[in-house]
Amino acid sequence: DTEVTQTPKHLVMGMTNKKSLKCEQHMGHRAMYWYKQKAKKPPELMFVYSYEKLSINESVPSRFSPECPNSSLLNLHLHALQPEDSALYLCASSQPGLAKNIQYFGAGTRLSVL
Amino acid sequence: KNEVEQSPQNLTAQEGEFITINCSYSVGISALHWLQQHPGGGIVSLFMLSSGKKKHGRLIATINIQEKHSSLHITASHPRDSAVYICAALLAYNNNDMRFGAGTRLTVKP
């Protein structure tokens, strides 16, 4: 099983809403990532968890709050987002410590903020 | 200057043509990743390589570490190959960190 599952696939929310994106993998990977991708642009790294600890936070606004409850799950809590936060949010996982650290990506959650 | 540069940005080909997408990088890497992204979002890993050449079906990836350059070739291209192809450099000093090229949008016409 090389699948990374993201839910929901699509999300529309208002600027005052609170919502969460979920990501799950059962490959035994101990690194999980959140990326943001705007249209026609490459993914931008937001957060990396390694062994359930936040290891990279690329100066993301506090309205995005990651959570890694266990080694298989990664959440992204959203609160008071802006319309410019509308994007595709991708989750990935990998096994840290390997020289060739292949990241496996989920299908993404397409977020629209109204 | 971006750490990972791809060319061309856009590429249109006729079915059956041989396609080459290029990637140059300026950072120290442990490996280079070629990814495919179809409309709708999902990203699929095609290759990860740190030296030489890899082949999978009609896809071939090569890397020259000295020149900091990699190429992705598609032989006998097909309309279903239409996608965005992204090269991404896995950093040598932190292999949780990957730097992405801007992507090459490939359209293969029947």
Confidence of residue B30 (pLDDT cuts 50, 70, 90): confident
- Give how far B26 is from chain A: nearest CA, Å: 17
pLDDT value at residue B76: 96
Quote the distance between the C-alpha of residue B48 and its chain's center.
10
Q: Residues of A with CB below 8 A from B88's CB? A: 42
CB spacing of A99 vs B95 below 8 angstroms: yes
What's the average model confidence in pLDDT over B61-67?
A: 95
pLDDT digits (tens, 9 = 90+) for A16-26: 889 999 999 99
DSSP annotation of A49: E
Query: CB–CB of B89/B99 below 8 Å?
Result: yes
pLDDT digits (tens, 9 = 90+) for A68-101: 999 999 999 999 999 999 999 999 999 876 666 7
At A84 the three-state DSSP class reads helix
pLDDT digits (tens, 9 = 90+) for B7-26: 999 999 999 999 999 999 99
Nearest to A110 among B41, B50, B97 (CB): B41
